[in-house]
Structure 1
Amino acid sequence: MNIVSILAQNALRHPDKPALVFEDRSYTYHEFNRMVNQLANGLISLGIKKGEKIALMMKNSDYFAISYYAVAKTGAVIVPMNFRLVAREANYILDQSDSVFVICDQEYEKMIHDASRTIPAVRQVITVETAENKGSLSLQDVLSKNSAEPAVEINNTDDLHILYTSGTTGNPKGAVFDHQRVLNVTVGCIGLLGYNTRERFIHVAPLFHAAQLVICMTSSFLLGGFNVIHKEFNPEAMLRDIEKYKITSLFAIPTMFKFLIEFPGGEKYDVSSIQRFLYGAAPMSREMVNQTMKFFNSNNFYSLCGLTEGGPSGIYLSPEDHKEKVGASGKDGLLFTEAKLVTPEGQETEPNVVGEFVLKGDTVMKEYYKKPQETAATLRDGWLYTGDLGYRDKDGYIYIVDRIKDMIITGGENVYSVEVENVLGTHPKIADVAVIGSPDEQWGEIVTAVIASKPNETIELDELEAFCRQHLSGYKIPRKVVFVEALPRNTSGKLMKYKLRESVKK
């Protein structure tokens, strides 16, 4: 059993059941699986071999979902790419992943050609729309008349996809997952979150991101659920389709929830069909969680705290736990996953002692693709060392406080940037904030706040210091403040602090 064999079974069990809607196109399970097979057979006729790599440079669409499953059915390995990459960055991933084909939206065709010009391994570029560059093919031209299941044996030990990390600290690394690992995460999410065959998902976060791809999309198609796909995030369009299609499950990153609850007139939409709200990929403050629960008039919220290398998998905070522990990252590991906090020597920490967050289980990546040293440094004694720091309270709930590389040491004291960010994030004039360490001759580092103010708001430094003194110890209060129009975030909503450190030094 794997995600492609179950898709074929679902097409036979309920061929007329609605599977997917994207803009003005819709598919039943029979229609979706038929087109998947046509593309898979077309790719095979172009010479794609089992185990070769095919990159996807696409925004969310029906064609992303079709391409993902088609590549999987050929036995090739999917390399979903961030569609916001520039040619240099795309060149790195295409080369590092050994991709031989690229399926892309037309708007990225020229960039992909430029990026792959120096990569002999790339044999074919396929565009979703009409191909404009010499040597490219359109997806419609690749579709085979043969809609039968491809004659390729898929084993659960075969690699399924390589998910490149967000790259918040430099070049991204490709986390490799086989079919079994992806199935484990999918089944684990179904069991833990209570998904069922009548589930109705809306996919707005990028599908190249592990959370939306595995926790939501592959879980939905495994169950025979219904999928509404949006190309981009638009609060009004999202609220409208939640009401129109009676969406039952919603995953969003914190910044998306923020835009949804602040959208003028958002309260007029009927969102009562949603049975579970999932948030993750970036920290979400206690205040923001409470505001979001109030807006949606629901307490059925799940915090999912994990990482790409975990599958994604990690820890979770259940709706019941939100009553007393809102703001915590989670407690128990997701199904098939263990979690703990350890000292630098690998010993489990005592309550309220900060340690590194580590994971173990059948959901964790096999390796970083072609990076044995990085793999050995991250996977040790069966545990995935995440680089996140956290502590466990007396009740066993884990609070992630920082990345190891983001911890600030000022005058010999450890300052965890997330704690300071959570405090500053409650200031009524602050729209977004990041806290980093700046070099200082006297203190080694000083706490530095990079702030994006709300429109038409001005924040005085003495006002900010007085606010911080109500909530923070003196050594944690920012000694340097930089005001910017917007903070650099990647498509997962994660702060790219290395860019802030570079800009603050200038």
Structure 2
Amino acid sequence: MNIGSLLSQTSRKYPELLAIECEGRSYTYRQFNEEVNMLAHGLLEQGVNKGDKFALMMKNSEHFVFTFFAAAKIGAVLVPINFRLTTTEVQYILEQSDATIVVCDKEFEQTIAEAKQGTIVRQVITVGEPETVGFYSYEKVLSDNINEPDVEVSETDDVEILYTSGTTGRPKGALFDHSQIFKVGISVVINMEIGQHERILHLAPLFHSAQLNLFLISGVALGSTHIIHRDFHPVKTLQVIQEHKITHLFAVPAMYNFLLQVPNAADYDLSSIKRVGYGAAPMAPELVRRSMELFKTDQFYNLCGLTEAGPGGILLDPEGHKLKGGKPIFMTETRVVNEEGRDVLPGVIGEFIVRSPMVMKEYYKKPEETKSALKDGWLYTGDLATIDDEGYITLVDRKKDMIISGGENVYSVEVEGVLFEHSDILDAAIIGLPDEVWGEAVCAVIVPKEGAMIDEAELRSFCRQKLAGYKVPRKIFIEPQLPRNASGKILKYQLRQSMNQMSTEKLL
């Protein structure tokens, strides 16, 4: 078994079933598999070998999917790259991953041309007609051979290096083999009760492990129809759910927030939806509640995992939403431990750790970071959590985002949840900034809804009704938007830097 063979099997079982639709272009599973095989043979003819590190810098499209499966079929190791990264950041990943080949969309060709300098990248393939001398055209690389490539790929061969979000520093590459990624797919099929021939809408970037491993790969194995959006548009999303009778949807919290801002969102027929997934970043309870109202279902699943686990971790299913706690996903064990690695008592905050066959092999070429993260078979996540008597886990905050103000611990997620209940707030983040009196001051960075004005005294009074005094924001910053990575996570280190600088400049 390998990831490429999942497509081959499905194409034999359901050759005429619609597999992919993207921007008006559609492919049956037979056509899907043939396109993949043509590219696989073309790559072999270009000298791509089993074990080569194969980078992708592409937006969502059928070409991303074809390239991913073609590389998997010939045993290359996929390195999906966030297309929002700068040239310097891309260069770091190309160099650190030992990538030798890159496939990119034409709009990212110049970034790759600059980023590959000083790396061992020997070949770049552009989707479209390349403008850079020496780059290859995707279409011209395709072979006429539609048969399965004759490359033996085992389940223990490496298949992906997934780079972490890099919200606190340079990203690290989590290394996985085919077996680990296959088990990730199995886990979501079981936990979210995904059946055969579902209609899955792909909104989040496919370079992100959740959309790629949880929903694309599992959906291909089951014979699902994949509706792929290159970019996220709230109105288009609602239209497509209605027109294509989408059954399964995964999105990051910010996307649900935008869907709720569509003036006539409630007029769309979203009744085909069976399951709604969210993850990659915390989602305020008020935002979850309003999203349930929009979709007229409580079948919401919080997939609380991390890249290093495939992603995997804990799942907050519909019942868990009522109990406000999650349980480990299929094939996964979890604990909450103190600094000595001992289990904490119920209700006590500790670090959330994970053990499963889906956890990465290692951080690629980073032995010290690997040793720090993987201890005695457990992955230490850096997330703070509590566990109750029945084993339900509630995540509290990231270790690095916890604020200590006047000797009291303040967990940003709790305060953000209250802010999202305010009718004038579109988006919000809580950060800690240096304070001479309190050590750190609790600070709110607010994005108001269109046309709304934030009254700071009123907002503090609103918070004081729901929070202890030391948790109420002492400083409030109004911004047009919050910096986020492609996974939807707020880049709080950027906020801390910029807001601290702003505070300093005001004092001067």
Instruction: Tell me the TM-score normalised to structure 2 length.
Output: 0.97
Question: What is the SS of the residue equivalent to 2:327?
Answer: coil
Contact 1:435–1:449 (Cα < 8 Å) also in 2: yes
1:39–1:67 Cα contact (<8 Å) kept: yes
Residue in 1 that maps onto 2:506: none
* 1:404 paired to 2:399: yes
The answer to whether the Cα contact below 8 Å between 2:265 and 2:294 also exists between their aligned partners in 1 is no
Question: C-alpha separation between the residues in 2 aligned to 1:358 and 1:83?
Answer: 30
Report what 1:146 is aligned to: 145
Give the Å deviation of 1:3: 2.1
CA deviations on 1:299-336 (whole Å, 9 max, x unpaired) are 111111111111100111122333x22xx3x4221111
Distance 1:331 1:61 in 2: 33
3-state SS of the aligned residue for 1:278?
Answer: strand
- Does residue 437 of structure 2 align to residue 442 of structure 1? yes
In structure 2, what is the Cα distance between the partners aligned to 1:43 and 1:156?
Answer: 21
Could you tell me how far apart the structure 1 residues matched to 2:424 and 2:265 are?
Answer: 22
**Letter aligned with residue 155 of structure 1:** S
Question: Is residue 156–residue 177 contact of structure 2 (8 Å, CA) maintained in 1?
Answer: yes
Q: Is the 8 A contact 1:185 1:311 kept in 2?
A: yes
Q: What is the one-letter code of the residue matched to 1:47? A: G
Q: In the TM superposition, what are the counterparts of 1:329-348 in structure 2 within 5 Å?
A: 330-348=325-343
**How do residues 249-264 of structure 1 correspond to structure 2 at under 5 angstroms?**
249-264=248-263
What SS does the corresponding residue of 1:232 show, helix, strand or coil?
Answer: coil
2:409 corresponding residue in structure 1? 414
| Residue type of the alignment partner of 2:173 | G
Following the alignment from structure 1 to structure 2, what is the Cα–Cα distance between the partners of residues 348 and 44? Answer: 51
Q: Secondary structure at the match of 2:257?
A: helix
Q: Is 1:460 aligned to 2:455, yes or no?
A: yes
Superposed CA deviations along residues 120-166 of structure 1, whole A, max 9, x for unmatched, are x1001101111111001111010011111111111111011111111
Given candidates 486, 490, 499, the residue that maps to 1:491 is 486
Q: CA deviation at 1:495?
A: 0.7
**TM-score, normalised with respect to structure 1:** 0.97
Name the structure 1 match of 2:304.
305
Is 1:451 matched up with 2:450? no
Which amino acid in the other structure matches residue 445 of structure 1?
E
2:346 corresponds to which residue?
Answer: 351
- Does the 8 A contact of 2:301 with 2:315 survive in 1? yes
Q: Does the residue aligned with 2:370 lie in a helix, a strand or coil? A: helix
Name the structure 1 match of 2:180.
181
The aligned residue for residue 269 of structure 1 is: 268
- Quick check: 1:281 aligned with 2:280? yes
Task: Tell me the percent identity.
Answer: 52
| Counterpart in the other structure of 1:98 | 98
Deviation at 1:475, TM superposition (A): 1.2
SS of the aligned residue for 1:196 comes to: coil
Query: 1:245 & 1:78 partners in 2: Cα distance?
Result: 30
Q: CA RMSD in A?
A: 1.1
Q: Secondary structure at the match of 1:304?
A: strand
Q: Which has the higher mean CA deviation after the structures are superposed, 14-23 or 260-269?
A: 260-269
Secondary structure of the corresponding residue to residue 160 of structure 1: strand
> Secondary structure of 1:194's partner?
coil
CA contact 2:203–2:229 (8 Å) conserved in 1: yes
Q: Deviations over 1:102-122 (max 9, x none)?
A: 000001111100111222x10
Query: How do residues 202-217 of structure 1 correspond to structure 2 at under 5 angstroms?
Result: 202-217=201-216
C-alpha distance in 2, partners of 1:135/1:295?
A: 50
Residues 3 and 73, structure 2, Cα contact 8 Å, conserved in 1: no
Deviation at 1:394, TM superposition (A): 4.1
2:102 is equivalent to residue 107 of structure 1 = no
**Conserved? CA contact 2:352–2:383, under 8 Å:** yes
Q: 341, 360, 367: which one pairs with 1:365?
A: 360
- 1:68 aligns with 68
State the Cα distance separating 1:21 from its structure 2 match. 0.6
> Alignment partner of 2:358: what SS?
coil
Task: Report SS of the residue matched to 1:340.
Answer: strand
Mapped partners of 2:433, 2:181: distance in 1? 40
Contact (CA 8 Å) 2:162, 2:209: kept in 1 or not?
A: yes
**Is 1:32 the counterpart of 2:32 in the alignment?**
yes
Contact map agreement 1:332 1:338 (CA 8 A) in 2: no
Q: Say which is worse superposed, 453-462 or 49-58, in terms of deviation.
A: 453-462
Deviations 1:346-405 (A, max 9, x none): 111111100001100101111111111111101111111110001123443221111111
Letter of the structure 2 residue corresponding to residue 138 of structure 1: S
Q: Is contact 1:51–1:77 with CA below 8 Å preserved after alignment?
A: yes
- 1:339 alignment partner, SS class: strand
